[in-house]
A = this chain, B = another copy of it.
Amino acid sequence: MRITAKADYAVRAAVELAASEKSGKPVKGEHLAGLQQIPQNFLENILTELRRAGIIRTRRGADGGYQLARPAAEITVADVLRAVEGPLAAVQGVRPDQLSYGGAAERLPEVWVALRASLRDVLEHVTLADIARGRLPTAVKDRTRPKDAWRPH
Binding site for B on A (CB under 8 A): 1-5, 8, 11-12, 15-16, 18-19, 35-37, 77, 81-82, 85, 87-93, 95, 97-98, 101-108, 110-123, 126, 131-132, 134, 136, 139-141, 143-144, 146, 149-153
Given A108-B12, A131-B107, A131-B108, CB of A114 within 8 Å of CB of B149: yes
Cα of A143 to Cα of B96 in the assembled complex, Å: 13
Cα of A88 to Cα of B131 in the assembled complex, Å: 23
Min CB distance A78 to B, Å, is 8
Cα of A139 to Cα of B132 in the assembled complex, Å: 31
How many copies of this chain does the complex contain? 2
Cα of A131 to Cα of B152 in the assembled complex, Å: 27
User: CB distance A85 to B121 under 8 Å?
Assistant: no
Main secondary structure of the interface of A (DSSP, over half): helix
User: CB distance A122 to B131 under 8 Å?
Assistant: no
Cα of A17 to Cα of B108 in the assembled complex, Å: 14
| Residues on B with beta carbons closer than 8 Å to the beta carbon of A98 | 152
Min CB distance A103 to B, Å, is 5
